[in-house]
Amino acid sequence: MNLSQVTYIWIDGTSPTQTLRSKVKIVANNKKELTAADLPQWSFDGSSTYQATGHDSDLILQPVCLVRDPILDENNYLALCEVLNPDGTPHESNKRAHLVKVMEQGGKAQDPWIGFEQEYTLFNGTQPLGWPDRGYPAPQGPFYCGVGADEVFGRELVEQHAQACLDAGIMLYGLNAEVMPGQWEFQIGYRGVDSESADPVTVSDHLWLARWLLYRLGEEFGISAKLHPKPVKGDWNGAGKHTNFSTRAMRDPKTGMQAIDAAIKALELRHKEHIAVYGHELELRLTGKHETAHMNQFIAGVGNRGASVRIPRPVANQGYGYLEDRRPGANANPYEVAAMLVETICNNQPAKKEVA
Ligand code: ADP
Ligand code: MN
Ligand code: MN
Ligand code: MN
């Protein structure tokens, strides 16, 4: 018999940006490899996570995505959970349940794949990592994809995080140092491995698990990762969560460019609805500067990093592939971003009428 430590991880009710919580359950089992379906539900005190009141505080954790725990040993697991009300319905903070529904209601039929580029900023106390105690580092320029002790800060944590994602079985695609010193990016999603599903639910689950691992490993270094979309005001790049998206038709050489153009038209019509769920204080980042389009504008273009939606140059050249939505902020909830994209592109939602 194995006694496994299973870390139940869930998304809380913190407003305006939800955060992660976790607690550990010891699970006895006779199996070599557990699955999410093997795990019992568990309850927690929702009054301590902004999800319930004190006199009716018990909420339910339902494990939905299980990976190996790369930090504890091989019999231990990380279990991402949905939060349910006592009657078993999804709690209002549970955005995953809506994405699952949107996928059932037509999304799946178009076989969407997704990939997130998660930017984040490492902090040592109140300053970004590598910044002087007072004032600013040298202006941006040498830091993006840089190398060297004077240009790159926090690589040891970043490398441990990448290995932890791979050991867990999370669909890590790659990583890089970003334009602002102390800022980094990792990508999660489609990476051309046939045995994996890059569907929006799985990839969004993996992004939340990768975020948890980043915070958890940061504890070892006394470094905290922050997802604020504009961690430093002024002439410094913000932090985004570019979201790459394709449907079967977009990936088909016969229909690719036509399907990508149709998707961009649909996205333009629902620009405001998308912006509304792309993260708190997005206006601080989408200024029209620092590789963004202004929040009140919708611009699409090939290879254009000042656009809202970019068609990567290689995609335009070959005539099929995917598009990149550059609008989401680093702090956006991947379930909400994915659900909007599936609704707009796959379910062909009409633009909501403006209320007079
Ligand atoms: P950028 O050039 O914008 O920095 P990255 O190399 O950081 O792009 O990330 C590329 C992203 O595109 C990854 O998240 C990857 O999963 C995603 N991606 C690649 N191909 C597809 C596809 N066909 N459909 C959806 N996403 C894709
Ligand atoms: Mn990138
Ligand atoms: Mn980036
Ligand atoms: Mn990008």
Q: What is the pLDDT of residues 202-227, one digit of tens each?
A: 999 999 999 999 999 999 999 999 99
Domains 2-93 and 104-346 alike in fold = no
Query: What angle is formed at CA 146 by the lines to CA 143 and CA 150, rounded to 5 degrees?
Result: 70
Burial (Cβ within 10 Å: 0-12, 13-18, ≥19) of residue 92 = exposed
Distance 286 CA to ligand 4 centre (A): 14
Burial (Cβ within 10 Å: 0-12, 13-18, ≥19) of residue 55 = exposed
| Cβ(51)–Cβ(93) below 8 Å | yes
Predicted pLDDT of residue 292: 95
Predicted pLDDT of residue 73: 77
Superfamily grouping for domain 2-93: Glutamine synthetase, N-terminal domain (3.10.20.70)
Euclidean distance between CA atoms 225 and 214, whole angstroms: 7
Question: Could you say which architecture CATH assigns to the domain 104-346?
Answer: 2-Layer Sandwich (3.30)
Ligand 1 in contact with 186 (CB < 6 A)?
no
Predicted pLDDT of residue 31: 86
- Alpha carbon nearest to ligand 1 atom 19, residue: 190
pTM of the model: 0.96
- Alpha carbon nearest to ligand 1 atom 7, residue: 117
Ligand 1 in contact with 131 (CB < 6 A)?
no
- Alpha carbon nearest to ligand 1 atom 15, residue: 115
Distance 150 CA to ligand 3 centre (A): 20
User: In the chain, what are the domain boundaries?
Assistant: 2-93, 104-346
Ligand 1 in contact with 187 (CB < 6 A)?
yes
Ligand 1 in contact with 243 (CB < 6 A)?
no
Predicted pLDDT of residue 349: 60
| Cβ(262)–Cβ(271) below 8 Å | no
Low-confidence ranges of the chain (pLDDT < 50): 350-356
Ligand 1 mutation pick, 110, 171, 187, max ligand atoms within 8 A of CB: 187
Q: Which ligand is nearest to the CA of 187?
A: 1
Ligand 1 in contact with 190 (CB < 6 A)?
yes
